[in-house]
Copies of this chain bind each other. A is one copy, B any other.
Amino acid sequence: MQAIHQRMAARSLVSGDKLPSLRAFATTMQVSTSTVVEAYERLAAQGLIRSRPGAGYFVAGPSTAAPMPLTLAAMEPRLDRAIDPLWISRQSLEADAATLKPGCGWLPAAWLAEGGIRQALRTLARKGDASLAEYGTPLGLLPLRQLLSRRMAEHGIEAPPDHIVLTESGTQAIDMVCRLLISPGDVVLVDDPCYFNFHALLRAHRAKVVGVPYTPTGPDLEAFAKVLSEHQPRLYITNSAIHNPTGATLSPVTAHRVLKLAEQAGMTIVEDDIFGDFEHTPTPRLAAYDGLERVVYIGSFSKTLSAAARTGFIAARPDWIASLTDLKIATTFGGGRLNAELVYRVLSDGSYRKHMEGLRLRLARAMPEVSKQLQGLGIVPWLEPQAGMFLWCRLPEGLDASAIAQDALAHNVVLAPGNAFSLAQSSRGFLRFNVAQSLDPRVGEVLRQVLKRQTEKG
């Protein structure tokens, strides 16, 4: 059933097409004919296919079939079959407590601000009034926006509170900006490699995605300029402070050049800065150079404070903020007020600053430790990041990261194979490690066994 669903979603089987014969499909799928009969009968019961006695089964017409849903995993462009952009997310989100997650994109709960959230919950239970039951205002909690405005000013970004709209997460913030600025078929530029969820999100927007190779100081400028002139992308989505997955930092020279090229091409930049608070020394942001003319700045606290009480935000031009606010009402109505109240309390009572100091220190210790351990296995970091949790590593020659990830998963270890991050599928030999999730000695042990098995196979 799933195989037929996928073919229909990918439009390789469309209305009126004859399905493979029972016998032929049984052979293809390596199942019995009676299994195929049962699957076809169920699809017929769902109205997706119709049986014409004596002629076989046919895909039902559009006027009588159920509508064909948008299937992210089946949409073009096809990435590595086994490892689609949602593979790592799903594995990480579904993992039970016994599973190790060195490939996971976030910190263990114990590293986050549980204490601060606990305290904020108590305060809200005591003092909260309307904040416990009322919708938020369209832009979102004013004191939090004022605080965000001051924090951005520390990075040289001028954004008054009414140029900021709160969202339910950083992911939702990018989603809303895409809804505002791109139409189906528009070209969007991403780094290669980049955060795999950008690929999944852009598929949901039916955008055409183009990648530009990422270097240790930012996108490859020659390739960047070429893509701009060849494809006229509407948007470029990137992380500037600490790049996911590479941990690289955009250099001021590259930042300036990227902005200039974007200006010439009339392209908007979405600067996703959700890892910015991990930096030891603040580096400049595209939004600071640009003054929020051409750059939309996005942040959240899901990676630093809590992934359970989430709040994201968008800082942008006031006319775009007005349209984004309409979109926010239309698609989510009042937003998550309670989460905003919680995040505001933790940010404003000083506990966040203290928490982040401890967190940066802890990561700074874990980074060289994990790096050394991996190098002992022949897994070599592409660069030593200045901060953050990610190590982007090259596998020993000839090994395939996807095969290694599948093998490791069978041993309860979730890895992050490189091609999930790469549109061009050029990162077959890379894995992304989260150093905070890689300290358990069992990680090294399983990796050693998997590398051995895969080397023998290869």
Contacts and interface: CB of A to CB of B under 8 A. Distances in A.
A366 interface: no
Nearest to A68: B181
A69 B323 contact: yes
A305 to B, nearest CB: 8
A117 B63 CA distance: 47
A126 to B, nearest CB: 8
Contacts of A67: 181-182, 186, 234-235, 266, 268
Contacts of A65: 266
A94 B137 contact: yes
Interface stretch (A31-39, A70-78, A219-227, A409-417): A70-78
A25 interface: no
The bracket for how many chain A residues form the interface is 35 or more
A8 B265 CA distance: 20
B70 A200 contact: no
Nearest to A90: B138
A171 interface: yes
A334 interface: yes
A163 interface: no
A197 B201 CA distance: 24
Contact of A125 (B60, B85, B118, B339): B118
Nearest to A168: B168
Interface string A120-161: 011011001111111111100000000000000000000000
20 contacts: A46-B293, A64-B266, A67-B181, A72-B327, A89-B333, A90-B329, A93-B138, A94-B137, A106-B135, A114-B129, A114-B133, A118-B132, A121-B122, A121-B132, A132-B308, A168-B168, A168-B336, A171-B330, A203-B330, A336-B336
